[in-house]
Amino acid sequence: MSENCLFCKIVEGEIPVTILYEDEDIIAFNDINPQAPIHFLLIPKKHLSGPEDVAIEDERVAGKLMRMGNEIALQEGCSQYRVVVNNGPQAGQTVFHLHMHILGGRDMSWPPG
């Protein structure tokens, strides 16, 4: 756990979220400020600040984020969706604990803003 990390607090159960999936490695929960009808986040329980923190021993969990993101999206009735990882403030990252956004349920434009 990293002190003052919002998502570590969510992992510890200190901040309530709507959990869609949880196991020993990851948690998935609805985004508090959804940008699409379906918008949830998947995070590793281990504090990694972003992709640059993903070491070889984290590869299995990083892959699980992708696999479970797809499974949960399908459970939510959504087979077409966007996967987003914002890395760094210029890219829009605001919480510095690795997380994957899944957004779906509406048409998406490209390029992103």
Q: In this complex, which beta carbon is closest to ligand 5GP, that of residue 17 or of residue 78?
A: 17
The 9-48 contact track toward ligand 5GP, x by CB under 6 A, reads: ------x-x-----------xxxxx---------------
The one of Zn ion, ligand 5GP, none whose footprint includes residue 54, by CB under 5 to 8 A per kind, is none
- Preceding amide of 111 cis, omega within 30: yes
Cβ-defined contacts of 53-56 (< 8 Å, 24+)? 53/98, 54/98
Q: Cα torsion at 109, 81, 29, 2 (round to 10°)?
A: -70
Kindly list the catalytic residues: 99
**Interacting residues with ligand 5GP (CB under 6 A):** 6, 15, 17, 29-33, 86, 92-95
